[in-house]
Amino acid sequence: MRVLVIGTGGREHALVTALSLDPAVSHVLAAPGNPGMAAVAELRAVDPMDPAAVAALAVETAADLVIVGPEAPLVAGVADAVRAAGIATFGPSFEAARLEGSKDFSKAVMAAAGIPTARSYTCDTPEQAAAALDEFGAPYVVKDDALAAGKGVAVTDDRDTALAHAAACGRVVIEEYLDGPEVSLFVVCEGLTGVPLLPAQDFKRIGDGDTGLNTGGMGAYAPLSWAPADLVPVVMSEVVAPLLAEMDSRGTPFGGLLFVGLALTAKGPKVIEFNVRFGDPETQVVLPLLRSGLGELLHAAATGKLAGHPPLEWHDGAAVAVVMASAGYPVTSRSGDVITGADDPGVLHAGTARDGAGELVTAGGRVLCCTAVADSVPEARAAAYRLVEKVRFDGAQHRTDIAAER
C-alpha cells in the first residue's frame, strides 16, 4: 500500500514514521512534509489548503490511502476532494470537520447528543459576552468560534482581559471553567464505529509548572498510570457513541480521527473540545506505542472495514515527548537559527527547513520534538531529555517538567 500524508508538523512526522514501520505499507509520501521526514518518506510539494491540488497529487502518486493531518485543510474540504477522486482518505468531510471548525456547532452537537461538557453561551456582542462572563464568574473561559491555530482560547481571572479577547474574536463561546486534570483521547472513527487509542496528556503552557501563555503543546506522555481504570470505556459510551450517532443522524457521519479533549472533573469526565485530527504533540507519544500496523488501521477506517478490524495491540512501556520551540514563541517565532544535533530518529521535526547552503534551520514556533520510548515513564523521560541536551539552536526554549512525577 502507498500512503500519502498531508502536512508539515511533528504530528505528521510521527505518522510517517509509524507508517514506515507497518509491513502493509510499501511506500510513504509526505506533502509538503519537512526535512526530518525525508529520512522515511518521499517528499512532494503541494499547497495543503488547495483541495484540487491535493487530489491531483494523490492521483499522480498512485496513493492507496491519503491521510490529511491538520485541521485547516480538513475544514477546507481537502478530504472530500481526494475521496471524490476515488482514493481512500482518512479524514472527515468538511461538514463533519465543523466539530473543530466551529465551537458553537460543536457545543450544539454536544447538547443535542447529551454529552457531558461545560455549560456555555455563544455571544455576538460585548453585552452578551459581559452577561455570560458574569453568570459563570472567574476563571473566565472565552473561545473564538472559528479556527484560530491554537490561539483562540483565553482562560483568565481578569474580566477585562476576557472581554477584550471576546471583542477581538467577534463571535465567541463563553463557558464555565472545568476543573481537573486534562486528558487527550484519540478515537479512530468510521460512521458509528470508534476504536480508541491510548489516552495521553499534553502540556499546554509555555512555562514549567503550567505557567505563562498557552501554546500548541510543549510536551506529552503516555500511558497515564493515574487515569481512572474505566476512563476509556466511560468516554466511549458517554461521549463517542452519542457523538457518532448524532453526526450520523444529521446525515454527516464522522470518519477520521476524533480527538476528545477532556477534563476529569469531580463529576466525571467532561469534554473541553473536539478536534477532528490527531493532536500535536500527543501523536508523537501515542503512535510509537502502537504495535498494530497504522496504515492497515487507517485504511480500514477509510474503506468501511473498521468494525471488522482486529483489536489493537500495544507495546508495554511508555513514551515521552519534549517540544523545543524557537525564540519568542508563543508570541512570535524566529526563523533561520542553525540547528545541530537533531539527527536521532526520535527527533521529530515541525518548524524546520534547509537554508540555501543545505543547513538545517528553524522555521517556526515549535521547531521539533524529542521523543523516546522506554520501559517506564521516568526512563522514557530521561531518554527524551538526553535528546534535548544534544539539540542546539540559538534561543531554544523547552519545559523541564514534562512527564515529571505527579
**Site for ligand AMP, rule CB under 6 A:** 118, 141, 150, 152-153, 155, 175, 177-178, 182, 204, 214, 261, 272-273
CB of 204 to ligand AMP, least distance (A): 5
- Do residues 195 and 377 touch, judged by C-beta distance below 8 A? no
Letters for 292-321 (x = contact with ligand GLY by CB under 6 A, - = none) are ------------------------------
Query: Does residue number 217 form part of the binding site for ligand GLY (CB under 6 A)?
Result: yes
Q: Is 282 exposed, middle or buried (CB count within 10 Å of its CB: 0-12, 13-18, 19+)?
A: buried
At 266, list the grid cell: 469531580
Letters for 248-277 (x = contact with ligand GLY by CB under 6 A, - = none) are ---------------------------x--
At 128, list the grid cell: 452578551
3 state DSSP class of 171 = coil
At 76, list the grid cell: 477546507
Place of cell 464505529: 193
Q: Which of 190, 202, 238, 296 touches ligand GLY (CB under 6 A)?
A: 202
- Do residues 283 and 188 touch, judged by C-beta distance below 8 A? no
Q: Which of 264, 282, 369, 372 touches ligand GLY (CB under 6 A)?
A: 282
Instruction: Round to whole Å and give the CA distance between 142 and 373.
Output: 36
List the single partner that 217 binds among ligand AMP, ligand GLY, none, CB under 5 to 8 Å by kind.
ligand GLY
CB of 41 to ligand AMP, least distance (A): 28
- Alpha-helix residue ranges (DSSP H) falling in 144-191: 159-169
Q: Is 144 exposed, middle or buried (CB count within 10 Å of its CB: 0-12, 13-18, 19+)?
A: buried
Spatial CA neighbour of 98 closest among 117, 124, 76, 82:
76
Identify the H or E element spanning 129: helix 126-136
List the single partner that 246 binds among ligand GLY, ligand AMP, none, CB under 5 to 8 Å by kind.
none
Find the helix packing angle between 126-136 and 159-169, rounded to 10°: 140
CB of 273 to ligand AMP, least distance (A): 4
Instruction: Round to whole Å and give the CA distance between 51 and 54.
Output: 5
Stretch that binds ligand GLY, among 58-66, 126-134, 138-146, 278-286 (CB under 6 A): 278-286
Instruction: Round to whole Å and give the CA distance between 120 and 165.
Output: 16
List the single partner that 115 binds among ligand GLY, ligand AMP, none, CB under 5 to 8 Å by kind.
none
List the single partner that 118 binds among ligand GLY, ligand AMP, none, CB under 5 to 8 Å by kind.
ligand AMP
Residue 181 vs 336, nearer CB to ligand AMP: 181
CB of 202 to ligand AMP, least distance (A): 7
Determine the Cα angle at 266 with ends 263 and 272, to 5°. Answer: 20
Query: Does residue number 8 form part of the binding site for ligand GLY (CB under 6 A)?
Result: no
List the single partner that 97 binds among ligand GLY, ligand AMP, none, CB under 5 to 8 Å by kind.
none
Q: Using CB under 6 A as the criterion, which residues of the chain lie in contact with ligand GLY when the complex forms?
A: 202, 217, 275, 279-280, 282
